[in-house]
Structure 1
Amino acid sequence: MNFFLEVLASGLLAGVMYSLVAIGFVLIYKASGVFNFAQGALVLFGALTFVSLVERGLAPWLAFIVTLAVFVLIAVAIERAVLRPLVNRAPIVLFMATLGLSFILEGAAQLFWGAQVHGLDLGIDDKPLEIGGTMLSQFDLFAAAIAGVLVVSLSLFTQRTRLGLSLRAVADDPLAALAVGIRLPRIWVIVWSLAGFVSLVAGLLWGARLGVQFSLSLVVLKALPVLIIGGFSSIAGAIAGGLLVGSAEKLAEVYAGPFVGGGIENWFPYVLAMVFLLARPAGLFGEPAIERV
């Protein structure tokens, strides 16, 4: 029984790491109604910028602030060069624009910081910690705590603040929001800056575990099943989807892997996502699309 609990707990904690990446997708989707393919590039760019600044002698807290400032500048540039010219265009057009942004950001990261692999030490031990007879990773527990704080903060921001309500109005109808006095450029800059902040946090945690390298941008592939299961428009859904994906893939690998040759955790989340697409396309917490005809 203890072994089952350890596998389940490790899966849940791994799912929290997936959720951190998925939250960035949700923020952009809630503000523009488009899937941001550049989220993985943002995760890579943030982690690579931070670790490169630290290696050049900046204090970690100062490197964190400088990286956030860079993300704000990137948000302003994206609003001016991409979002403003494409306002009220078809979602597929904005999706293709974010696809181009992902290559631009990855190229810029390589241009400024190089392509070598960087080690990242956040000062958090990845040693097992016994809780109630179950061994858990201290690093995973720290990541889970960070994700919890982010979820609560962002949920309160989107649900309880005037700016958060404006963000939701822009997602529903950009032109109507503009007509009632909501400043679209300001909303887009803020939400892309928030997505940059979440990407930086996710990049640091994933970079500390896997190393800061260009394959870090591929972590978004694990966030796709999380989004499908939890719902593209729900921050809480991103966490729920991550927990479900993380626990399901670990349990499937341990208990079903020996019967299919192993490696099941690499593709099982996508099978689970396909089941949800057939049974509940909007996800657990997503809002079903309503169209007037």
Structure 2
Amino acid sequence: MGPILETIIGGLMTGMLYSLVALGFVLIFKASGVFNFAQGAMVLFAALAMARFSEWIPQWTGIESKFVANALAFVVAMVLMIVCAWLIERFVLGKLVNQEGVTLLMATLGVSYFLDGFGQTLFGSSIYKIDVGMPKDPMFLLESTFQGGLLVNQEDLVAAVIAAALVAALAAFFQYTGTGRALRAVADDHQAAQSIGIPLNRIWVIVWSVAGFVALVAGIIWGSKLGVQFSLSVLALKALPLVILGGLTSVPGAIVGGLILGVGEKLAEVFIGPMLGGGIEIWFAYVLALCFLLVRPQGLFGEKIIDRV
């Protein structure tokens, strides 16, 4: 029973990180109807900015405190992501209002490749470290209940708590603030929202800024765990099948879908992987999403679309 619980706990913690990345997809799709293929590149770009500025700021300013340097690097990286959000709205989305969905999709693909290339030009293409003081040593829980206890990675636990807190804060923001209600109004009907004076362009900048903040937090966590490298954008794109699983327009769906995906792929890798030669974690999410598309295309929490003729 112990190994199963360890696997489930590890899957839940990984699932919260997937949910964090998936929130970026959901927020942008809800507000603008754009399926943002650039979210993975945004995670990588934000992680590169955090890693490099945390190195450069002590050199530029002479600050010796790692905490202060990391805090300043976070602020600078966040400002950079907000500027990126404004530029994307100003020069890409703002020029494509009322265009076909496939046009907007191709635009986000272009943004993705641009961020990948520009990030490499600006910050370099090596593997960088992010050290924000997250504990690396594992710990044992419930030693009195299970023989030897349950082995839990402290870094995964802290990351899961941070991700859960951010998800809860975003949910409260959308539910209880005036800006959050405006965002939900835009998500329901762009034209109706504009007719009552909600500025669509400003809302899009806010949404992309929030998505940039989510990408920055996700990039810091993944970068701390795995190092900042260009495979990080591919890892972030694993949230794509998660969005299909939970529903394109559902914040709760992103959370629940992430937990299901995290637990499912860990259990499959541990208990089915040895029989198939391993590697299940690479394709499990996409097969699971395909199964949901065949049975429930709108996802667990997505709205069913009915066209009347």
TM-score (ref. length: structure 1): 0.96
**2:23 — aligned with what?**
23
The Cα shift of 1:174 comes to 1.9
Farther off after superposition, 78-87 or 38-47? 78-87
Give the 5 Å matches for 1:52-201.
Answer: 52-58=52-58, 59-132=69-142, 133-201=149-217
- What is the rounded CA distance, in whole Å, between the counterparts of 2:177 and 2:98 in structure 1? 25
Q: How far is the alpha carbon of 1:207 from its aligned partner?
A: 0.6
Give the aligned partner of residue 247 of structure 1.
263
Any conservation in 2 of the 1:119–1:212 contact (CA below 8 Å)?
Answer: yes
What amino acid is the match of 2:95? Answer: P
Q: d(CA) in 2 for partners of 1:291 and 1:160?
A: 32
Aligned residues: 293
CA contact (8 A) 2:57 2:73 kept: no
Structure 1 counterpart of 2:44: 44
1:227 aligned partner = 243
8 Å Cα contact 2:20/2:167 also seen in 1? no
Q: Tell me the distance in 1 between the aligned counterparts of 2:174 and 2:304.
A: 19
Q: Which residue type is aligned with residue 201 of structure 2? A: P
1:50 maps to a residue whose letter is M
SS at match of 1:232: coil
CA contact (8 A) 1:12 1:246 kept: yes
Residues 115-140 of structure 1 deviation map (CA, whole Å, 9 limit, x = unaligned)? 11112222112222222232111111
Overall identity of the aligned pairs, in %: 56
With normalisation by structure 2, the TM-score equals 0.91
The alignment partner of 2:48 has SS state of helix
Superposition deviation, residue 269 in structure 1: 1.8
SS of match in other structure, 2:57: coil
Q: CA deviation at 1:159?
A: 2.0
Q: Does 1:236 align with 2:252?
A: yes
Tell me the distance in 1 between the aligned counterparts of 2:106 and 2:282.
27
Instruction: Report the 3-state secondary structure (helix = DSSP H, G, I; strand = E; otherwise coil) of the residue aligned with 2:42.
Output: helix
Cα distance between partner residues in 2 of 1:196 and 1:292:
37
Whole-Å separation in 2 of the counterparts to 1:191 and 1:292: 31
Alpha-carbon distance in structure 2 between the residues aligned to 1:219 and 1:266:
9
Shift of the 232–246 alpha-carbon distance from structure 1 to 2, 3 Å rule, reads same
Q: Post-superposition, which runs of at least 4 consecutive aligned residues in structure 1 deviate over 6 A?
A: none
Question: Alignment partner of 1:267: what SS?
Answer: helix
Aligned residue for 1:262, secondary structure, equals coil
Q: Aligned equivalents of 1:258 and 1:82: distance in 2?
A: 47
Q: Which amino acid aligns with 1:167?
A: L
Structure 2: where are the runs of 5+ without partners?
A: 59-68, 143-148
Amino acid at match of 2:53: L
User: Alpha carbon RMSD of aligned pairs, Å?
Assistant: 1.4
Note the C-alpha offset of 1:292.
4.7
Structure 1: unaligned runs, 5 residues or longer: none
CA deviation map 1:63-83 (0-9, x unaligned): 111111111111111111111
- Quote the residue 1:9 is aligned against: 9
Q: Which moved more, 1:171-180 or 1:78-87?
A: 171-180
Deviation at 1:206, TM superposition (A): 0.6
Give the C-alpha shift of residue 109 in structure 1: 0.8
